[in-house]
A = this chain, B = another copy of it.
């Protein structure tokens, strides 16, 4: 399926950057989960463009819920979220309709949709569509939270500057929750902000790495092969625009380790099984082992830059030079982190519902 993810708990997204509205349908969530509009809006707020490090297109992002919630709680039937597009400037795009913006989907989209695609603002490829994922993800995050499962993502690296590692995971996740710019180390945060503004001033953009921790997941979730925990999570993470790599635990660093270093020794203390290290990121053989799940993904630099670029006019089949107009982000990594939290939460709800049934996440009976 194309714009639908999940089996027991699924999300379907729709919309274009300059259409009337965008949104998502969240289906299969257990009944009885409190739906807190303020929490949804606080999540939307984390994704919103703010300050000089983001695009000047600011959207209010009010979320209309028109089904699936009754008397303040999920009913168990599909929840429809819609978000209006208000602040669109489509004329920025009409002049360059036929130009393949480098790093963007324009040319690939044209090969797939044969010119019928909505080109304005990236159309259906726009990062704006992630607003629907965040709205739906907020309900998933609430449901997980009630079961003691918490998710947090920080900017582990941006413009070459590193944040400190996760330390006390439960505490770090809590701290991240209240941050606009999700960096655990204050100095690193300041440097990253500086670097983003520097790039913006040069009409350039930067990328980085988002690292995510999940705390409180039961052991025994995931499958040995095609629906391994990593397969399912990576499937949804690679759906987020700009993600070009995903790793779990030590990830690519394992290429330089010996088995004796990479193996995580198990131990049991007070009846609780843990590992001394967590190079496997809480997953063995595709299945959670009860340790915190640790993963990270790379966010490529925003492809929209204000420098002259070489490219093609794919309708007329000729080489051209052009400079992108419109309003764009010099970095999206700080806005993307709540998208990652949301995507992970949705995938977790699906895996948990498959494993333990559709009632597992349910609230107390009315």
Selected interface stretch from A140-148, A164-172, A176-184, A307-315? A307-315
How distant is A221 from chain B, measured CB to nearest CB, in Å?
A: 8
Interface pair B2/A223, CB less than 8 Å apart: yes
Q: Which residue of B lies closest to A162 (CB)?
A: B255
Q: A246 to B289, alpha carbons, bound, how many Å?
A: 21
Most buried by B among A73, A115, A238: A238
Q: Which residue of B lies closest to A78 (CB)?
A: B14
A40 close to chain B: CB less than 8 A: no
Return the contact of A4 from the options B1, B20, B265 (Cβ within 8 A): B1
Interface pair B244/A235, CB less than 8 Å apart: no
How distant is A201 from chain B, measured CB to nearest CB, in Å?
A: 12
Chain B contacts for A188, CB-based, 8 A: none
Chain B contacts for A28, CB-based, 8 A: 1-2
* Interface members, chain A 284-304 (any B CB < 8 Å): 284-290, 298-304
Q: A1 to B6, alpha carbons, bound, how many Å?
A: 8
* Interface members, chain A 241-292 (any B CB < 8 Å): 241, 243-252, 254-268, 271, 273, 275-276, 279-281, 283-290
* Interface members, chain A 1-46 (any B CB < 8 Å): 1-8, 10, 12-16, 19-23, 25, 27-28, 31-32
How distant is A347 from chain B, measured CB to nearest CB, in Å?
A: 10
A59 close to chain B: CB less than 8 A: no
Interface pair A73/B116, CB less than 8 Å apart: yes
Interface pair B67/A257, CB less than 8 Å apart: no
Contact size class for A?
Answer: 35 or more
Interface pair B118/A75, CB less than 8 Å apart: yes
Given contacts A115-B365, A224-B77, A273-B314, contact A245 B245 (CB under 8 A): yes
* Interface members, chain A 210-247 (any B CB < 8 Å): 218-228, 230-232, 234-236, 238-239, 241, 243-247
Indicate with 1 or 0, residue by residue over A69-107, a CB within 8 angstroms of chain B CB atoms. Answer: 010011111111010000000000000000010111111
Return the contact of A366 from the options B6, B77, B114, B271 (Cβ within 8 A): B114
Q: Which residue of B lies closest to A289 (CB)?
A: B108
A208 close to chain B: CB less than 8 A: yes
Interface pair A108/B285, CB less than 8 Å apart: yes
Q: Which residue of B lies closest to A288 (CB)?
A: B108
A49 close to chain B: CB less than 8 A: no
Interface pair A259/B1, CB less than 8 Å apart: no
8 chain-A/chain-B pairs, Cβ below 8 angstroms = A73-B116, A76-B117, A104-B285, A105-B224, A230-B238, A255-B299, A356-B357, A356-B359
